[in-house]
Structure 1
Amino acid sequence: MNQTDLTLAAIDDKLSKRFINLDPGGYFIIYLDREAGQICAKHFTNIISDRGLAVDPETGKPIPVRGKVERTHAALFTGRTAKELCVKIFEETQPSPVTMLDHAAYLGREFVRAELALVNRQEYVQD
């Protein structure tokens, strides 16, 4: 890794640790289905509490950030490319499950990362 790569990685690492407001439209768990050659995005609904926490609409309990969470997704979106997945979520699904522009930008970045990992046979871990 050269100095430029290290600098870019440091910028991304720092930005990944910033505070973000959660989307009241819900959140996505992104993963690869290598057998099908697809990027998958499970959409889960949530409510944002007055403390800014994502809360399960069924139980009223905060959704933990780490660890295994047993919830049923509201929708599953799949695509072979980042663009195909974005079209399905942002153009073909009405109303869109994404209600915040920063969330949309994040998903676009993650879908591109997932596509590159799929094409290059690399590991993908959602940021």
Structure 2
Amino acid sequence: MTQTAESLSTIDNELSKRHIDLDPGGYFLIYVDGDGGLICAKHFTNVIDDRGLAVNPDTGEVIPAKGKVERTHSTVFTGRTAKELSVKIFEETQPCPVTMLDHAAYLGREFVRAEFALISGKDYIQD
């Protein structure tokens, strides 16, 4: 059976609706710096409370999943390719800021999407 881009997109869109546990190591906001030719990933620390919600380690306030949040990132990682960015985060940073395998897999997918956007000149929106 031949898959179309639309059918594959439908699969991914459905999978994006599933529940995921949050990484106690923190979260990343990924964006593309087209002028600099870079994929960027701002890392933010967090604490996961007994309800499974991410909270700001400085204030104890729940970090909302949607909407604007005023927080300061702990680190900005950059790379010219998805692989270069992955090596910096997963191999060169100790301790690694990612503590869950599903989070690592998600970041890898997002870095590849961001790389494609960088190459093609298209907009990148993190999933």
TMscore range, shorter length = over 0.9
Provide the secondary structure at the position in 1 that maps to 2:116. Answer: helix
Calculate the TM-score normalised by the size of structure 1. 0.97
Give the length in aligned residue pairs: 126
Deviation for aligned residue 1:77: 0.0
Question: Which residue of the partner structure matches residue 119 of structure 1?
Answer: 119
Structure 1: 5+ residue runs without aligned partners?
Answer: none
Question: Which residue of the partner structure matches residue 43 of structure 2?
Answer: 43
Query: AA paired with 2:51?
Result: R
Question: Which residue of the partner structure matches residue 13 of structure 1?
Answer: 13
Runs of 4+ aligned structure 1 residues displaced above 3 Å come to none
Deviation for aligned residue 1:78: 0.2
Give the Cα–Cα distance (whole angstroms) in 2 for the partners of residues 33 and 8 of structure 1. Answer: 27
Calculate the TM-score normalised by the size of structure 2. 0.97
Give the Cα–Cα distance (whole angstroms) in 2 for the partners of residues 83 and 27 of structure 1. Answer: 19
> Which moves more between the two structures, 5-14 or 112-121?
5-14
Question: Which residue of the partner structure matches residue 61 of structure 1?
Answer: 61
Give the Cα–Cα distance (whole angstroms) in 2 for the partners of residues 113 and 26 of structure 1. Answer: 21
Provide the secondary structure at the position in 2 that maps to 1:9. Answer: helix
Deviation for aligned residue 1:68: 1.0
Give the Cα–Cα distance (whole angstroms) in 1 for the partners of residues 31 and 115 of structure 2. Answer: 10
Please report the RMSD computed on the Cα atoms of aligned residues, expressed in angstroms. Answer: 1.1
Deviation for aligned residue 1:65: 1.0
Deviations 1:3-53 (A, max 9, x none): 622211110000001000000000000001111000000000000011010
Give the Cα–Cα distance (whole angstroms) in 1 for the partners of residues 79 and 46 of structure 2. Answer: 24
Structure 2: 5+ residue runs without aligned partners?
Answer: none
Give the Cα–Cα distance (whole angstroms) in 1 for the partners of residues 50 and 3 of structure 2. Answer: 43
Query: AA paired with 1:65?
Result: A
Provide the secondary structure at the position in 1 that maps to 2:4. Answer: helix
User: For 1:96-111, what aligned pairs fall within 5 Å after superposition?
Assistant: 96-111=96-111
